[in-house]
Amino acid sequence: MNGDIMNKSIRAVLLMGLAVTCAAGAAEDKSLGVTADLTLASKYMTDGFNVGDNHAAYMPSLAVDTKVPGFYLQFWSALPMERNRQQYDEYDFMARYSHDFFGGSPLKLNLHGYYDYWVYPHDAYTTDKNGATIAAQSKRGQKVHAGVSLLELLPVLGSHLVPSYNYYYWFPDQKDLFQAGAHHELALSYTHALPVFIPGAKQQDVTLGGSLNYHDGAFGVDSGWSHTTAMLGTSAELLGCTLSANVNYQWSYIASVDPENEFWAMLSLTKKF
């Protein structure tokens, strides 16, 4: 089986599996506290970085709630669709938290964050001074995130403009593996309900978003205002699942973070059990 046929087969099996699960669970009301998601991305962009060299990726994940309100565990991954590029495979093992406070007040806010242990399990290859191919040191490390969103402070046209601040910090689990550092994000988003026009859908909405970002030297990049982003997305509740899609654009200002402006799109299917 050649690579193209294999990629199409993997994609079909993943999508069919989630679609069948959605249809089978559409009438179920009891929640098990498990969320499965499959995202297809035209390229893997994160924190201003273009990961995977402009190649499309699968991003499957599985999250499990705990008995502590707002706290859950998640396995997340990014897998290039071209399986001869396995050096870009990424696995993330995360403990996450998200909880709303001051409900019913204009000061209602959401506190969120996570601890992430991430690893690239396959060797990347480089060349030595003589041109011989050698395996580079595997990438792995830790990342923490803390953020706050003001959910109902700014009412606009029947919904709310939501400002957020997010702080991310990377650090290695082995000395000299990479340089530790932080990423600061100032974000705005606006979500508005749409008339339902997809047959069988219970709810549809559209989201506009954007961010301004500052890097302070993680992975050896130059410090400064590194990039801004814009996003247009939509989602619908359909057959017990959430189907969502978005398009994104990034203006890049620091070449060591990303030397180019970027455009990418994402399609996701999410099912809660």
CA–CA dist 169, 142 (Å, integer) = 8
Helix (H) or strand (E) holding 25: helix 3-25
53: DSSP letter: T
Q: What is the pLDDT of residue 6?
A: 45
134 in helix, strand or coil? strand
What integer pLDDT is reported at residue 218 of this predicted model?
95
Task: Tell me the per-residue pLDDT of 35-61, one tens digit each, with 9 for 90 and over.
Answer: 999 999 999 999 999 998 899 999 999
Distance CA 139, CA 144 (A): 17
Spans of the chain, pLDDT less than 70 = 1-30, 124-138
Q: How high is the pLDDT of residue 177?
A: 84
DSSP 262-273: EEEEEEEEEEE-
- Give the C-alpha separation, 247 to 250, whole Å: 11
* The model's pTM: 0.85
Residue of 244, 248, 242 whose CA lies nearest to 271: 242
The dihedral over CA atoms of 188, 44, 100, 171, expressed in degrees to the nearest 10, equals: -110
Triad 149, 150, 152: Cα angle to 5°? 140
**Contact (CB, 8 A) for 52 and 42:** no
Question: What pLDDT is stored for residue 132 in this prediction?
Answer: 52
167-194: b (≥16 Cβ within 10 Å) or e: ebbbeeeeeeebeebbbbbebebbbeee
What pLDDT does 135 receive?
A: 47
Instruction: Dump pLDDT digits (tens) for 103-137.
Output: 999 999 999 999 999 999 987 655 445 555 444 55
Q: Which of 264, 265, 267 is nearest to 245 (CA)?
A: 267
- State residue 122's pLDDT score: 85
Q: Which residues fall within 8 angstroms of residue 257, CB to CB, at 6 or more apart?
A: 48, 49, 215, 221, 222, 226, 227
| Beta carbons of 269 and 45 less than 8 angstroms apart | no
Give the chain's domains with CATH numbers: 3-272 (2.40.160.40)
Task: Quickly tell me which residue has 């959401």 as its tokens.
Answer: 110
